[in-house]
């Protein structure tokens, strides 16, 4: 392929496999992406049924029910499914993220038909056996207990709630302990019958296959699927931080270190400033040679790591800075982090920094699309967020086209000034007096984040 040069960077064109879209009579949208030469196929079913749609009192039910799909279906036990799938080197599973429930299959091409039949049974006929529910419940509750004892997990959980407030994005896909303890089989069956359905689902098939054969297989196994809503549910618009300027301390008296998070509103996925923001943030805190790493780790030795990033979703976005340090050096780290954000907001990155991160991002991006699973996931994101295929094929060119002025303008417009919240996890008695200068302080117990 002929290479092109953008901002001094030579780019070989990134050509996506042919993408054929078909819709079954029941509303299921099928995306066929033939791709060789390896004899492998990845299948991904994406349904707009993520954790933001979990009802009050049943937070986490979408992820719980999705993970249980392969734990017994159509009379096959979990062990029988595992035996058949693993015998041919395939894998099948489900989970939910903030916005979608996802069921995936990865299989050698020669076993696609038999494995897809199992995949379809998992999607359409989960047993939700009581024994599997209880086993999974115990496992999740143990994981939640571990997370509530882990300072980093506590910081992330507290930050999410502080940034998103009462918006459904504030609760995780695997959420409240009390809700998990209360789940009943009827709740999982209701999720499957009422929130999963063909009209709001997209099926992606990527790899080595014959399109006609795959479509016949999909129609035979999923063509009779009838459940679910006729239209995708709508996510309410995120409103931003309820109490900007607040400092939240999660009290862990035994900790000698402090987990640090600084959060602020961000932008939605597909925002017009996406590419300038990616370049700017990589300079600020998105890489190992970023300003935050240089100032916090390299020059001052305050922490082993520091970073920043944008979380972009359909109805809103967030920006965060994360690090950790000794209790004694907390204010020094906070001052440096806040100063670096302020400096980037007021002056933007340098030309040399922009050029360096453009080469870095452009070099890494093709590696993100090497597997069938990665291609399916990238195209699913494009469809879900209402983007175009050029978002993928022209990604590096758009990164390379970002000017220093573009990055500076994005920083000035989108980085926080006062509209931010600070979350700290550590010894509240020692921390609180140090951080009053950053804003009004409130203290939480870890149990308040269950």
**Local confidence band at 10 (pLDDT 50, 70, 90 cut-offs):** low
Strands 247-251 and 421-426: parallel
Indicate if the pLDDT at residue 368 is higher than 90: no
CA dist 107 and 41 (Å) reads 5
Strand residue runs (E) in 200-284: 201-207, 247-251, 257-265
Q: What pLDDT sits at residue 385?
A: 95
- Percentage of the chain beyond pLDDT 90 is 85
Counted domains in the chain: 2
The four Cα atoms 135, 137, 140, 146 give a dihedral, to 10 degrees, of -100
Indicate if the pLDDT at residue 151 is higher than 90: yes
Q: Are residues 259 and 174 in the same domain?
A: no
Rounded average pLDDT over 378-402: 93
Q: For residue 232, tell me if it sits in a domain.
A: no
- The number of beta carbons lying within 10 Å of the beta carbon of residue 227 is 14
Indicate if the pLDDT at residue 2 is higher than 60: no
Q: For residue 420, tell me if it sits in a domain.
A: yes
Q: Are residues 341 and 392 in the same domain?
A: yes
Q: Are residues 337 and 394 in the same domain?
A: yes
**Local confidence band at 7 (pLDDT 50, 70, 90 cut-offs):** low
Q: Are residues 100 and 66 in the same domain?
A: yes
Q: Are residues 24 and 107 in the same domain?
A: yes
Q: Are residues 163 and 260 in the same domain?
A: no
The CATH number covering residue 214 comes to: 3.30.830.10
DSSP state of 394: T
**Number of C-alpha atoms within 13 angstroms, CB side, residue 416?**
26
Q: Are residues 69 and 187 in the same domain?
A: yes
Phi, psi of 361 (to 5 degrees): -65, -45
Entry pTM: 0.92
Q: For residue 233, tell me if it sits in a domain.
A: no
Rounded average pLDDT over 25-44: 96
More confidently predicted of 243 and 303: 303
Q: For residue 190, tell me if it sits in a domain.
A: yes
Q: Are residues 54 and 172 in the same domain?
A: yes
Examine the fold and report which residue of 222, 238, 266 is the final residue of a domain before the chain moves on: 222
CB 270 within 8 A of CB 385: yes
Q: Are residues 251 and 215 in the same domain?
A: no
Q: Are residues 137 and 254 in the same domain?
A: no
Q: For residue 230, tell me if it sits in a domain.
A: no
Indicate if the pLDDT at residue 72 is higher than 90: yes
pLDDT digits (tens, 9 = 90+) for 183-224: 999 999 999 999 999 999 999 999 999 999 999 999 999 999
**Local confidence band at 243 (pLDDT 50, 70, 90 cut-offs):** confident
Domain that holds residue 267: 247-449
Q: For residue 345, tell me if it sits in a domain.
A: yes
**Local confidence band at 95 (pLDDT 50, 70, 90 cut-offs):** very high
CA dist 205 and 104 (Å) reads 10
Q: For residue 237, tell me if it sits in a domain.
A: no
Q: What pLDDT sits at residue 36?
A: 85
Q: Are residues 128 and 255 in the same domain?
A: no
Closest CA to 188 of 130, 143, 149, 147: 130
Phi, psi of 427 (to 5 degrees): -75, 105
Mean pLDDT over each residue of the chain, to the nearest integer: 94
Strands 421-426 and 257-265: antiparallel
Q: Taken in order 54, 60, 65, 67, is the CA torsion positive or negative? A: positive
Tokens at residue 130, please?
């009581």
Indicate if the pLDDT at residue 335 is higher than 90: yes
Rounded average pLDDT over 376-401: 93
CA dist 307 and 190 (Å) reads 41
Q: What pLDDT sits at residue 1?
A: 42
Rounded average pLDDT over 264-270: 95
Q: For residue 195, tell me if it sits in a domain.
A: yes
Angle between helices 274-284 and 404-414 (to 10 degrees): 90
Indicate if the pLDDT at residue 4 is higher than 70: no
Closest CA to 280 of 308, 300, 242, 305: 308
CA dist 309 and 324 (Å) reads 16
Q: Taken in order 420, 319, 314, 404, is the CA torsion positive or negative? A: positive
Q: What is the DSSP string of 216-231?
A: HHHHHHHTT---S-SS
pLDDT digits (tens, 9 = 90+) for 417-429: 989 999 999 999 9
- Percentage of the chain beyond pLDDT 70 is 97
Q: Are residues 49 and 157 in the same domain?
A: yes
């Amino acid at each position: 392929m002929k290479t092109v040069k953008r901002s001094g960077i030579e780019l070989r064109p990134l050509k996506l496999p042919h993408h054929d879209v078909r819709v079954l009579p029941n509303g299921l949208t099928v995306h066929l992406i033939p791709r060789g030469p390896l004899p492998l196929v990845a299948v991904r079913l994406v349904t707009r049924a993520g954790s933001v749609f979990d009802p009050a009192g049943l937070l986490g039910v979408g992820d719980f029910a999705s993970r249980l799909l392969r734990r017994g279906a159509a009379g096959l036990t979990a062990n029988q499914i595992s035996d058949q799938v693993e015998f041919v080197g395939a894998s099948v599973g489900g989970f939910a993220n903030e916005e979608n429930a996802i069921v995936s299959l990865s299989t050698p091409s020669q076993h696609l038909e038999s494995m897809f039949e199992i995949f379809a049974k998992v999607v359409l006929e989960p047993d939700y056996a009581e024994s599997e529910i209880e086993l999974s419940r115990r496992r999740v509750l143990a994981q939640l207990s571990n997370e509530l004892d882990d300072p980093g997990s506590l910081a992330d959980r507290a930050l999410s709630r502080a940034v998103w407030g009462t918006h459904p994005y504030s609760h995780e896909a695997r959420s409240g302990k009390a809700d998990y303890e209360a789940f009943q089989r009827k709740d999982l069956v209701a999720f499957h019958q009422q929130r999963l359905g063909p009209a709001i689902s997209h099926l992606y098939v990527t790899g080595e296959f014959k399109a006609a054969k795959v479509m016949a297989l999909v129609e035979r196994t999923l063509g009779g699927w009838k459940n679910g809503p006729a239209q995708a549910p709508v996510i309410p618009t995120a409103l931003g931080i309820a109490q900007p300027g607040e400092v939240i301390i999660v009290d862990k008296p035994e900790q000698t270190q402090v987990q640090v998070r600084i959060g602020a509103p961000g932008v939605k996925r597909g925002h017009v400033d996406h590419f300038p923001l990616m370049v700017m943030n990589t300079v600020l805190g998105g890489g190992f040679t970023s300003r935050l790493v240089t100032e916090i780790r390299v020059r001052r030795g305050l922490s082993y790591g520091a970073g920043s990033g944008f979380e972009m979703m359909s109805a809103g976005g967030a920006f965060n800075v994360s690090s950790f340090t000794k209790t004694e050096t907390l204010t020094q780290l906070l001052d440096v982090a806040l100063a670096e954000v302020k400096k980037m907001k007021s002056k933007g990155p340098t030309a040399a920094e922009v050029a360096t991160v453009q080469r870095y991002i452009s070099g890494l991006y093709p590696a993100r699309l090497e597997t069938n699973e990665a291609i399916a996931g990238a195209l699913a994101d494009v469809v879900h967020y209402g983007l175009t295929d050029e978002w993928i094929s022209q990604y590096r060119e758009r990164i390379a086209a970002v000017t220093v002025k573009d990055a500076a303008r994005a920083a000035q417009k989108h980085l926080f000034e006062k509209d931010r919240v600070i979350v700290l996890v550590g010894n509240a008695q020692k921390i609180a007096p140090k951080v009053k200068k950053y804003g009004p302080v409130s203290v939480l117990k870890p149990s308040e984040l269950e």
